[in-house]
Structure 1
Amino acid sequence: MAATYREPRAPGFWPLALLFGAFVLFLYGPMLTIFVLSFQGPEGGLTFPMRGWSLHWYRQLAEGLGVVDIGAAFRRSLALGAVVMGLTVALSLLAALAFRKRLRGSNLLFYVTIASLIMPSIVVSLGIGLQFRLLDSGIKQLAGAWGLDDWLETFTTSLGLFSSALGAHLTWTLPFGLLIMFAVFNRFNPAYEEAARDLGASPWQTFRHVVLPLIGPSAIGVGMFGFTLSWDEIARTSQAIGDVNTLPLELQGLTTTVTTPAIYALGTVTTVVSFAVMALAIGATRALKRRQGGSR
């Protein structure tokens, strides 16, 4: 049996491998540390060494952390992330379809759309918060002029989860979705659509049965980006959320008051949700590709 020849490593391989290993450790080491420390026993602290192994801090998290309603914040973030995900996919797809044709002012519109990526997140949040406070003043003046005094007694602000906070998150997720869908359609072969039209398919049938299945994996990826970016967002939400908090904002606030591994348990739960969404997106993409392969 002939021996296989292995090409020798380049002189710079091991230094670069060590550098890459250090980068991966720096990137994921803190996350793994939090995971491990969250499983400490009742006497555990915020640092090593470990003091036993248990689910004590997860049970405490389920019971609540002081006056903070973690369950309500979790549901708010989940609902907001789902809405942001759906809108990001829908608007990115529609915009990419529109930009396939030449539009007057399309370059200016494109750069305006992605400009929020280079704006500091806190400035975007402050600007959105200011806009909605000005809107509140206008609403109160109109309500007073129309004699809606009873309604004014119950009105507080238009800032909210699915108004200002939703808009703030879309300024972060939509540019990413647009860039992905633009790249997808730049590589899309229009011959498939022409073949469908030659066979008598209507524009809607062409989109549903030809275009959408081909770009489906990319649309799922856009949805995954939309949810995970919204799920972890703090800066753009901080000044635009109103009277309630999302889970990341509650987590940020708890870092100054909670001095037990319960804060690590909460961080672990939020990270697991992000990984679960990514796993679902990957599974859905693979299932869609298998379905396309089986239909050929």
Structure 2
Amino acid sequence: MMSLLATSPVLRRERRPLSFWLLGAVFAAFVLFLYGPMFAIFVLSFQGPEGGLTFPMRGWSLHWFAQLWEGIGVIDIGAALRRSLLLGTVVMGLTVLFSLLAGLAYRKKLPGGTLLFYVVVASLIMPSIIVSLGVGLMFRLLDGGVKLWLEAHWPEALDTFTTTLGMFSSGLGAQLTWTLPFGLLIMFAVFNRFNPAYEEAARDLGATRWQTLRHVVLPLIGPSLVGIGMFGFTLSWDEIARSSQVMGDVNTLPLELQGLTTTVTTPVIYALGTVTTLVSFAVMGLTMVLMAVWRRRQGRR
């Protein structure tokens, strides 16, 4: 009896083909290549006061995080962190709002809608530095026009005017050219699978268009909107290329971090990288929690 069970095709362990192990090795190498540098930075950021930028480790401590809290030279890391958080929050909100409105608009036939769609999506394939240079040039030309207008109509304000370049003008616009196409593509995918029968049933029950949107459409697409918000924040949080020429006289945290890589030679820069990565993970974790809560509430209804 035992011999029959041992030779049973159901219980006998199936041998993996060689291709399985080869593909597994390739996948493991890819994961190591993708996340290995991040884990190395995490580990090196917890070195002791005598630590350097490479292995082997020299003790374990929170010394470099304390150094980061005190500041790195003349650079105010705390201010850069607050600026990035604020800008990322604004980009997130606008990305969700504009993506939702565009998704609703494209549910109907729009004159010139196809051309507009390709113009928006083309931003994804353009080199990011070219977008940054173009936005920066546009606002510098705007500066010239503003100065001419002030000179002709308000000369007193000409002495105080500097530039229209700024974090919430050119910087915000440049980052939206990166986040909005992703949000728009997600909303197109959502509404392509959306069953309009739910809306028709709501209208048959006497609901207005606004009530249908608020009580039917938005609850059903809510998890997707949360995902778009996560995309918007994380893409803004670590954006460098499109922000490099448009931020004016202030820098976001990624731009400060890029500048520090050429001047800072201690693990404090690894501590900064660890903090920024943890913020990204926190945003993703919060997004997953919000989506789980949303689904649970919808299930109770």
TM over 0.5: yes
- Structure 1 runs (4+) deviating above 3 angstroms are 1-7
Name 1:287's counterpart in structure 2. 293
**Greater Cα radius of gyration, structure 1 or 2:** 2
2:102 maps to: 95
Deviation at 1:93, TM superposition (A): 0.5
Q: Aligned runs of 1:83-232 on 2, under 5 Å?
A: 83-146=90-153, 148-232=154-238
Aligned equivalent of 2:239: 233
Q: Does 1:256 align with 2:262?
A: yes
- CA distance, structure 2, for counterparts of residue 275 and residue 12 of structure 1: 34
Matches of 2:12 and 2:165, distance apart in 1: 67
Q: C-alpha displacement at 1:151, in angstroms?
A: 1.2
SS in 1 for 2:18: coil
Query: 1-side partners of 2:17 and 2:182: how far apart?
Result: 38
Shift of 1:5: 4.5
Amino acid at match of 1:72: A
| Equivalent residue for 1:54, pick from 50, 56, 61 | 61
**What is the CA deviation profile of residues 64-121 of structure 1, one whole-angstrom value per residue up to 9, with x for unaligned ones?**
0000000110011000000000000000000000000011111111001111101100
Q: Give the drift of 1:154.
A: 1.1
In structure 1, C-alpha distance between the alignment counterparts of 2:42 and 2:160, rounded to whole Å? 44
Q: Quick one: distance in 2 between partners of 1:55 and 1:192?
A: 55
1:28 is the counterpart of 2:18: no
Which amino acid in structure 1 is aligned with residue 166 of structure 2?
A: G
Q: Percent identity?
A: 74
- Separation in 2 of the partners of 1:238 and 1:252? 10
> SS of the counterpart of 1:287?
helix
Cα distance, 1:4 vs structure 2: 3.4
In the alignment, structure 2 segments of 5+ residues that lack a partner are none
Post-superposition offset of 1:186: 0.2
Give the alignment partner of residue 88 of structure 2, picking from 81, 104, 113: 81
Q: Any stretches of 5+ residues in structure 1 without a counterpart?
A: none
Q: d(CA) in 1 for partners of 2:74 and 2:117? A: 45
- Residue 72 (structure 1) aligns with: 79
Whole-angstrom distance in 1 between the partners of 2:157 and 2:37 = 50
Instruction: Describe the superposition over 1:239-291 as per-residue Cα deviations: whole angstroms up to 9, x where unpaired.
Output: 01101000000000000000000000001111100010000001000110011
Q: What is the Cα deviation at residue 10 of structure 1? A: 2.6
Over residues 131-189 of structure 1, what are the superposed CA-to-partner deviations in whole Å (9 max), with x where a residue is unaligned? 0000000000000001x232111111000010000000000000000000000000000
Check if 1:245 corresponds to 2:262: no
How many Å separate the matches in 1 of 2:40 and 2:156?
54
1:130 counterpart letter in structure 2: L
Q: Which amino acid aligns with 2:211?
A: Q
Residue identity opposite 1:87 in structure 2: L
TM (norm. structure 1) is: 0.98
Q: Distance in 1 between matches of 2:176 and 2:235?
A: 10
The separation in 2 between residues aligned to 1:33 and 1:65, in whole angstroms, is 22
Q: Which residue type is aligned with residue 128 of structure 2?
A: S
- How big is the alpha-carbon RMSD for the aligned residues of Structure 1 and Structure 2? 1.1
Cα distance in structure 1, aligned partners of 2:107 and 2:213: 14
SS in 2 for 1:259: coil
User: How many angstroms apart in 2 are the aligned matches of 1:281 and 1:6?
Assistant: 40
AA in 2 matched with 1:279: G
